[in-house]
Structure 1
Amino acid sequence: MLTTRFTALFGIEHPIALAPMGGSAGGALAAAVSNGGGLGLLGAGSAKDPAWVEREVEVLAGATDRPWGAGFQCWAAPVRVVEQVLERGPAAIMLAFGDPAPYLPAIRRSGARLIVMVTDLAEAHGALGAGADVIIAQGTDAGGHGGSRGTIGFVPVVADLAGEVPVLAAGGIGDGRGVAAAFALGAEGALLGTRFLATPEALTSPASEKAVLEGGSEDTDRSSVFDIAHESGWPARWTGRALRTPFSDRWRGHEDALRADPEVRAGFRAAEQRGEPDASVVWAGESLDLVTDLVPAADLVGAIARETAEVLAQVSTQGGYRPL
């Protein structure tokens, strides 16, 4: 068992947290990660459907007696929904993509820990100013929305800046080698998302699960195309990494034209509702090459933790890592 300030803070076994992936990280997946010894985080996202959030929190809280949390997007999530989740006693609330200030009073009153994900140094300074208990340094390798900083160069800078505040690395990490690398960069654990898409507990459609298992990191692309097509309102500064499709290939580099064509956007959303492959959006990161099988989430947490320990032991005793 690897003990760090992060694991000690939450009383968990492994320095692994589930990325609160909107649409994928529901209550069952978050509970499974917590039951496996990590920190499961529900993907509440923009909380545009409070009934969904309430239902999934019910599933999560009823399926584990271990620490769990929920993640929200600051640019969109209503404070009242965060307050409703806090009533269920989460160990943590993770905030990302915007100003955390409106949520702080409720979080501090509840006693939940504040986790803030950052994508650049300005956000990192803001997280420290907000009193974050944990900071997640997310690199552009990550699936879903994020910034432009590479994980390997960004994490050490945030770790140096954070001082006594534990930092988790995120972006492109899909196995124990990646978690071990996070330690070398100064982090005290890792936030993983893409690898948990291929678990039976994830809210992933069969078609998306197949795409994840068969796709590779070179099949992903970071752009704003899908956000424009969805008319989601996502701030332009955070683009999204997803599996490429003929639609995204057609419109990448022509985003202004897509914004100006409501018929194309409406057609895309209608095709998505029908389940057409070209309109299926699968948010996934550059660890996708490592996702080759379907594994129960709790087992996956344990397997990644064991590999992390083995890699660190090999590096320590042999002066370098050799494949197990």
Structure 2
Amino acid sequence: MLRTWVTDRFGLELPLVGAPMAGVSDGRLAAAVSAAGGLGMFGVPATAAPSWIAEQAAVAAGGGRPYGIGLMAWALDDDPGQLDAVLDARPSLVSVSYGPFDRYVEPLREAGIVVATQAGTTDEARAAERAGVDVVVARGGEGGGHGRAEVATLPLLQSVLDAVRIPVLAAGGIAGARGLAAVLAAGAEGAWVGTAFLGCAETTLSDTARERVMGASETGTAYGRVFDVAQRLAWPAEFGGRALRNAFFDRWAGREEALAVDEGAPAELAAARRTDDFGTAYIYAGQAVGMVRERRTAADVVAAFAAAEELLGRFTP
């Protein structure tokens, strides 16, 4: 068995955390990942009501296994009820990232919750340690969804491991046993994985979206702020998003100032999301999307990561 800080702390079979993908992972996916031996998480969208958090937490906790919740720091100022709902739910782990997260660390820790934050640079990891988080996620630019894109996973991970004393998880571009073995060998306590689960029925993605994911290549993603600007979301400018490249992105990339005042773009994007028109609507995914080739259950995905033990065993005398 691969034993690390994260497996021992949460009683896991594998050092694997399902990333809290807002809009993709809800309580059902979190529960499925946890039941399979990892630590499942669900992400809280910026506009989610506290009641939604409570409902999804009940689903995630239904199997009796540890689970986690991901929060966006920039959204909490507008809706402090989200934090209250998370404190009431008492998950095992809470990730609070992207914005002024430090003010939320102590309330979560006082509630007995392990606190993580995602860092895209070594300086951000150092700041997370100073803020008192229990574990930092070194998230490289290959990762899907939101974050920084300045540094790739492997150089970031090496630097962060040298810079902090708290446990470190690795994120970005890890989609199977080889990736898990690589980051464990480097010294990470586990992997934080999102894109690998996009082909699973337990996500909230439609069948059309899953087909789009499974048809994408490793070069089929793009990083930027186009979809956030079009939705008038208040994401901090330093945190863009990596999604499947499409015609809407290509039309507006580099023209974000014009997009911000275009009256028709928000409605166009909203309509495309309602109708699964992914020539316009977004699907957030990382560069590992080229490895997602078939429909699988979350349990299948988690089980495939177990081969990391055999890979690492090749170097044991």
TM range (shorter): over 0.9
Q: Is the 8 A contact 2:209 2:278 kept in 1?
A: no
CA distance in 1, matches of 2:98, 2:265: 28
- 1:144 deviation in Å? 0.4
The answer on 1:230 being equivalent to 2:231 is: yes
User: Which letter maps to 1:44?
Assistant: V
Q: Is the 8 A contact 1:272 1:280 kept in 2?
A: yes
> 8 Å contact 2:50–2:85 — kept in the other structure?
no
Q: Which amino acid aligns with 2:313?
A: A
Determine the structure 2 residue equivalent to 1:262.
Answer: 263
**Aligned: 1:39 with 2:29:** no
Cα drift, residue 203 of structure 1: 0.9
Which amino acid is 1:15 matched to?
P
Q: Find the aligned partners of 2:281 and 2:110 in 1 and give their Cα distance.
A: 40
Corresponding residue of 1:75: 74
**SS of alignment partner, residue 187 of structure 2:** coil
Partners of 1:80 and 1:104 lie apart in 2 by 16
The answer to whether the 8 Å contact 1:83/1:106 transfers is no
Checking the alignment, whether the CA contact within 8 Å between 2:105 and 2:133 is kept in structure 1 is no
Distance in 1 (CA, whole Å) between partners of 2:193 and 2:96 is: 16
Aligned counterparts, 1:106-117, within 5 A = 106-117=107-118
Q: Check the 8 A contact 2:171/2:192 in 1, yes or no.
A: yes
Query: Could you tell me how far apart the structure 1 residues matched to 2:100 and 2:316 are?
Result: 41
Instruction: Show the counterpart of 2:14.
Output: 14
TM-score with structure 2 setting the length:
0.94
Match of 1:90 in 2: 91
Structure-2 residue corresponding to 1:196: 197
The alpha-carbon deviation at position 47 of structure 1 amounts to 5.0
2-structure distance, mates of 1:93, 1:233:
22
Q: Shift in Å at residue 185 of structure 1?
A: 2.5
Letter in 2 for 1:66: R
Q: Cα distance 1:45–1:121, how it changes in 2: closer, same or farther (>3 A)?
A: farther
Superposed CA offset, 1:152-185 (max 9, x none) = 110011111122x111100011000001111232
User: In the alignment, what sits opposite 1:177?
Assistant: 178
Match of 2:157 in 1: 155
**Cα RMSD, aligned residues only:** 1.5
**Aligned twin of 1:310:** 310
| Runs of 5+ unmatched residues, structure 2 | none
Q: CA deviation at 1:273?
A: 2.7
Deviation at 1:303, TM superposition (A): 1.9
User: 1:37-89 CA deviation, whole Å, 9 max, x = no partner?
Assistant: 11111111425333322221121122x21111101011112333222222222
Aligned partners of 1:136 and 1:170 also within 8 Å = yes
How far apart are residue 272 of structure 1 and its match? 2.7
In structure 2, relative to structure 1, the CA distance for the partners of 1:109 and 1:180 (3 Å cut) is same
Distance in 2 (CA, whole Å) between partners of 1:52 and 1:84 is: 9
- Confirm whether residue 273 of structure 1 aligns to residue 274 of structure 2: yes
Partner in structure 1 of residue 240 of structure 2: 239
Q: Are 2:36 and 2:302, in contact at CA under 8 Å, matched by a contact in 1?
A: yes
CA distance in structure 2 between the aligned counterparts of 1:316 and 1:80, rounded to whole angstroms: 50
Checking the alignment, whether the CA contact within 8 Å between 1:258 and 1:265 is kept in structure 2 is: no
Residues 1:259 and 1:83: Cα distance change in structure 2 (over 3 Å): same
Aligned length: 314
C-alpha deviation, 1:316, in angstroms = 4.0
Matched residue of 2:219: which SS? helix
Counterpart CA distance in 2 for 1:284 and 1:194 is 6
